[in-house]
């Protein structure tokens, strides 16, 4: 393939109505129970060969290093775009460190990183899975993600999922009503049956002592794993939860990069890590996280920041390429009432399969009235697709 040169970069703000509330302990702690509209950032890269690539940035002000979508778009315009212009998109080994130094934020780098892999894949006629070295599996197992909601709502969600063949469920916990939470976990087990696999995610909600107490009360329902039970910095607390409950612990907010993996392993604080492209800074660095975790004997899980189809395709293709990602994922669960793009995958019950004709990420965004584009320091309405 002839060397490419990036000649134009645009940054889009795209908004779609949320499909349904997905409440977490972190949101409840600040009084945020509903996000009616999801606004994400797209990075569009165009090259001198006529190729175009897209990357997606999904951020949350409640997250470490998070910010509003508008702030993320401005950061990308001010710091990322100048680095990209005139560069070879395939020169990731040099581009990614340059972007990290300029932006100082993994969410901004991740959006650009995805666009680089996408444009290179399109130009070479290869999927991102192929660019990453090939598929470790043909299809990705899926779980049903369940936000904090009433036990009756949980029962209905699980009933529908079981009818579709699901046996893996990941339930958000850590809310103020411990009794309702216990009833929700019991509802998953009662509705899904004895063979179902239940994982919990507390989003840093508990103290170590509270985590141990609550998890001891929930163990009878057969909990496979608990994610981020205590605050991210408390590695000793995570180790205490592991040892006192016997339930494997997965690190999420505690694990952004390969250095964090090393700290977790040394502290014996986790059994698994949640790999999210947004917090890693994209696919390039996610490979390092996966390699470090595998070397330390930690299991992999593919998570997300509720990206739409472009980010979801990047996460799916990464997960398909990594043998160490052994847990089912919820990254493809629809988050918006209208899709941003046609998904480049198909689902077969609780499994996802990438379309065989995908080049790059394989997701072409459809812009709508109300979407915005930023180019050359100016913001204007995007042209509807």
**How many residues does this entry show for the chain?**
385
What is the DSSP secondary-structure string of 289-346? Answer: HHHHHHHTT-EEEE--S---HHHHHHHHHHHHH-TTB-S-B-TTS--BSS-SS--SEE
Residue-wise pLDDT tens digits, 9-33: 999 999 999 998 888 988 888 887 7
pLDDT for residue 275: 98
Backbone angles phi and psi of 356, in degrees to 5: -70, -15
The full set of domains in the chain, from first to last, is 6-125+365-381 (3.30.390.10), 131-354 (3.20.20.120)
Catalytic, 149? Answer no
Residue in 169, 271, 291 with CA at minimum distance from that of residue 228: 271
CA nearest to 68, candidates 44, 41, 29: 41
In this prediction the pTM is: 0.96
What is the rounded CA–CA span in Å between residue 122 and residue 133? Answer: 16
Residue from 5, 149, 170, 172 carrying the catalytic annotation: 172
pLDDT on residue 1? 66
- CB 282 within 8 Å of CB 317: no
Q: Give the pLDDT confidence score for residue 57 in this predicted structure.
A: 98
Under DSSP, the state recorded for 196 is -
- H helices within 85-199, ranges in order? 92-103, 106-124, 128-131, 151-163, 178-192
Q: Residue 76 and residue 99: Cα distance in Å, rounded?
A: 10
Environment class of 152 (CB within 10 Å of its CB; exposed 0-12, middle 13-18, buried 19+): exposed
| pLDDT tens, position by position, 46-101 | 999 899 999 999 998 888 888 999 999 999 999 999 999 999 999 999 999 999 99
Measure CA 72 to chain center: 17
The pLDDT, as a whole number, for residue 363 is 98
For residues 115 and 54, is the Cβ–Cβ distance under 8 A?
yes
The pLDDT, as a whole number, for residue 29 is 82
Separation between Cα atoms, residue 192 and residue 167, nearest integer Å: 7
Weakly modelled stretches of the chain, pLDDT under 70? 1, 375-380, 382-385
Residue 383 confidence (pLDDT): 67
Q: Tokens standing for 201? A: 């995610």
172 counts as catalytic? yes
Marked catalytic residue, from 149, 170, 276, 279: 276
CB of 315 closer than 8 Å to CB of 142: no
Rounded CA separation 370/358 (Å): 29
């Amino acid at each position: 393939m002839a060397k490419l040169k990036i000649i134009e970069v645009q940054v889009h703000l795209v908004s779609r109505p949320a499909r349904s509330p997905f409440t977490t302990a972190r949101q409840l702690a600040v009084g945020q129970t509903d996000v009616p509209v999801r606004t994400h950032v797209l990075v569009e890269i165009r090259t001198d060969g006529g190729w175009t690539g897209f990357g997606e940035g999904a951020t949350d002000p409640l997250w470490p290093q998070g910010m509003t979508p508008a702030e993320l778009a401005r950061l990308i315009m001010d710091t990322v775009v100048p680095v990209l212009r005139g560069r070879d998109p395939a020169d990731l080994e040099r581009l990614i460190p340059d972007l990290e130094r300029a932006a100082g934020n993994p969410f901004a780098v991740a959006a650009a990183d995805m666009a680089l892999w996408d444009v290179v894949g399109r130009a070479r006629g290869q999927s991102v899975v192929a660019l990453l070295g090939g598929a470790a599996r043909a299809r990705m197992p899926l779980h049903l993600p369940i936000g904090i909601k009433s036990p009756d709502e949980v029962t209905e969600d699980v009933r529908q999922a079981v009818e579709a063949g699901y046996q893996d469920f990941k339930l958000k916990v850590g809310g103020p009503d411990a009794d309702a939470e216990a009833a929700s976990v019991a509802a998953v087990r009662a509705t899904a049956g004895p063979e179902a696999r239940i994982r919990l995610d507390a989003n840093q909600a508990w103290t170590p002592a509270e985590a141990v107490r609550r998890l001891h009360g929930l163990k009878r329902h057969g909990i496979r794993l608990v994610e981020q039970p205590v605050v991210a910095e408390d590695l000793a607390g995570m180790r205490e939860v592991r040892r006192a409950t016997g339930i494997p612990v997965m690190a999420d907010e505690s694990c952004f990069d390969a250095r964090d993996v090393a700290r977790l392993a040394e502290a014996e604080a986790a059994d698994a890590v949640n790999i999210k492209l947004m917090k890693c800074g994209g696919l390039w660095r996610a490979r390092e996280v996966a390699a470090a975790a595998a070397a330390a004997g930690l299991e992999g899980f593919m998570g997300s920041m509720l990206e739409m189809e472009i980010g979801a395709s990047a996460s799916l293709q990464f997960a398909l390429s990594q043998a160490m990602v052994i847990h089912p994922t919820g990254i493809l669960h629809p988050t918006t009432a209208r899709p941003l793009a046609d998904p480049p995958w198909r689902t077969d019950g609780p499994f996802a399969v990438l379309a065989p004709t995908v080049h790059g990420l394989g997701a072409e965004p459809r812009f709508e009235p109300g979407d915005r584009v930023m180019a050359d320091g100016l913001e204007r309405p995007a042209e509807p697709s």
